[in-house]
Structure 1
Amino acid sequence: MKKPNRKPTFFLLSAGVIAAGIVTGNGLSANQTAEAATEAAVVGHAAVDIAAVNEEPSASVLADSSAQASTAENPGAEAVTEAADTTPFMRLQQMNFLSATTGWMVRAGNAQTQKQPLSLLVTQNGSRSWTEHSLPGKYAAGLGLSGADTGWAVVYDGSKQTQGVVSYARARVLHTADGGKSWQTQWSGAGDFTDSFPPQNNLAVTGSDSAYAIVGDRLLFTRDGRVWSTAVFGQAGFVPEHLSFSDAKNGWVVGTMPPFVGAVDAKAVVVLHTADGGRTWKKQFTAGPTDEENSDSSTLRSAAIDFADAQNGFMLTDDISMMAGDLYRTTDGGKKWTNVYAKLRSHRPTLVGLSFIDGQKGWIYASPGAGPIDGGLMVTRDGGNSFRSDPDAGYDLSAAQYFASGQGYATGSTAYDQDYLSRTRDGGDTWTVVYPAK
């Protein structure tokens, strides 16, 4: 049985959680393993009052706008002025900030009752006020800015539900050059696309004319800001799941592929690297299951990857059969990876993503998943060797973004289908709810 390489101190995500249930150096019980195999993709949440999150009075308002759409893609782009907290159903599907002051979010209403459920929320003053425009599509899977008014979104259309699983018939890559007032489709493709829980940002913008997007089982990229092509990995059976780029040329994609020729169900997590803007790819690292003797590798997947710069990066695996994952770190651009935290519990709560500002300081954010344990924010300042919890960020987080200045944002959810955005100015020690405005 593979042994963990260290047993660091791990602080609880919730004060009511038993420590042994969070960090384990051995395999889970047979009952826990069975539960993990059948864990639901979409889950209920325990009640939470977001007003309890160290909130200070906020002057945030939705700014009025009379801008009209310039294309048929977006016939109703006049900004919405209703207060966010009066909406009966509200999700923040995507969040991406260009800086601590300039950012976008995708707000979703009820796709079953609203013809146009998506809206783009824009702030250029650190969330003190927001402007809202219509966004084409039914589900947003990616969002990224190349400037204060320019950027891309990945959206899905044509939804259907089969045995509780929602799928979409079409994916589109949209571009805006006027802050979301109008959108143009730059790429469109038919298929059977399923959304994921928790939602992941599958878009990386690396310059004014360069961006990358995972759509279904392919990676798309543009080098001129207009035409999108499909990346050729040269790795049989590789399926991209997460991506991170340090600049327009250097990037990493992590996904799964068969560990050997002829493997039917077995999977390995593989990191690929490009140094030429997606033209060619090289395999850098392969990670197996957390427990070679007891894991079911058919359920193995990547959970997240994040590079703070061209040298320092982190990658998290997810061995669903063991409800655990391994956190890997590189300090040389991916030439060598080290398992800095073995068998980190990855479900109940579900670990959603990573955000690091350098090789030492970063966050892992989590959702309750199938519960009953709270999610929240895990903070490290020693390169992932140990973590402490930050409950003020929220108990159910779907996205987080950390800046070198110590400022950052996180999106969380309540039990009543209402999401919110929190902000920190001290590296995550204290948080304030800044959307919706109170």
Structure 2
Amino acid sequence: MSQTDTPPTTGVLPEFVAPAANDTDRTFSLYVHVPFCVSRCGYCDFNTYISPDLGPGASHESYADTAIKELEFAADALEQSGVDAKPLHSVFYGGGTPTLLAAQDLNRILQRARELFGIEPGAEITTEANPDSLSAEAVQILAEGGFNRISMGMQSSVSHVLQVLERTHNPDNVHAAAAWIRDANLDLSLDLIFGTPGESITDWHQSLDAVLAVRPDHVSAYGLIVEEGTKLAAQIRRGVYPNTDPDDQADKYLATEERLTTAGYRWYEISNWAYDPQEQGIHQSQHNLAYWRDQDWWGIGPGAHSHVAGVRWWNAKHPAAYASRVLDNISPAIGREIPDDEARLLEKIMLGVRLSEGLELSVLTAQSESEAQEALAETRRLADQGLIQTAALEDGRIVPTLKGRLLDDAITRQLAGF
């Protein structure tokens, strides 16, 4: 079974971590969580807060200093753990809405990370943003500070859909913000949500039209998941809105694939497409690929999760509790997990079958002879069902077909239970 415990306040990692983490094939990335929002969307269950001031070290004005202090703590903890310093493979600011902080503060955090760890040449450095949280000046400051990519939360271009989601931005501002991003020579990614209650297929095509008019470098499109505890879940329970419809979401996913592929985008993860008409593998999110490929990263901020060589830990969730620990020079981490072999295999399967590069068949066959034979038989059954690509399987990879992308949970269940 996986081992769960409370990590030491020093942040020092178990002794077995260093040899694996120091493998030159493993990359190291940085995630910075900024928990502030102007308002809370009805569907959102992320760790976000509306108040701009949640106490010492947890306000808009002081947050950058707290994040920098955790960065310094991280560098020291890794050194004390015997983990060699590696330049950052990617940096991603998420939230919340990171661009509610001053662009200069986002740059200060990035600069301190650069001083402590270094950054690989050409590394992807991204911040999330809402259309209404950007200005031409702020985008230019971010570009000058080293950011080269902005991931903008568009969700929909249809006003009544945004209203159900309780998104407060003006959809027309997407075009203005995109122009500022282009003027600063930054890459642009747009995030979409399909399957919102009341959203017609015509509405969804209107949103896709708006995306293609902007011509982003990257598109993420996720089917709406109604999370328990959210305002939207309560509204659906009371009958204010109908529940989501899996068939409706499947139709919209297929429309997304058709429209984006025709326009030169290529899927590389079930919910992600990169503009890549020549199929050269460009514009894919290197930070998210690091997650999906089981690489290493340190998560800065309240509720942020980290992973280094098979050890996972997570920070105190509330910004005040997080900041208090950081300011007291102790680890903000309050929980840690060391997954066992069975849990890690399941995770590799879940992530691998979502990618166009697929899951290496050797992941399943590197077991006993009988288990390897059973795994091979299961993959052949999946190919016969049209869920994975036969040609890729012959090359030793498990890659979902379009049908399989709609039924990826079924692929995972069958592979995990062979």
TM-score calculated relative to the size of structure 2: 0.26
Q: Which has the higher helix share?
A: 2
Higher-RCO chain (CA-CA 8 Å, sequence separation at least 6): 2
Question: Between Structure 1 and Structure 2, whose CA radius of gyration is higher?
Answer: 2
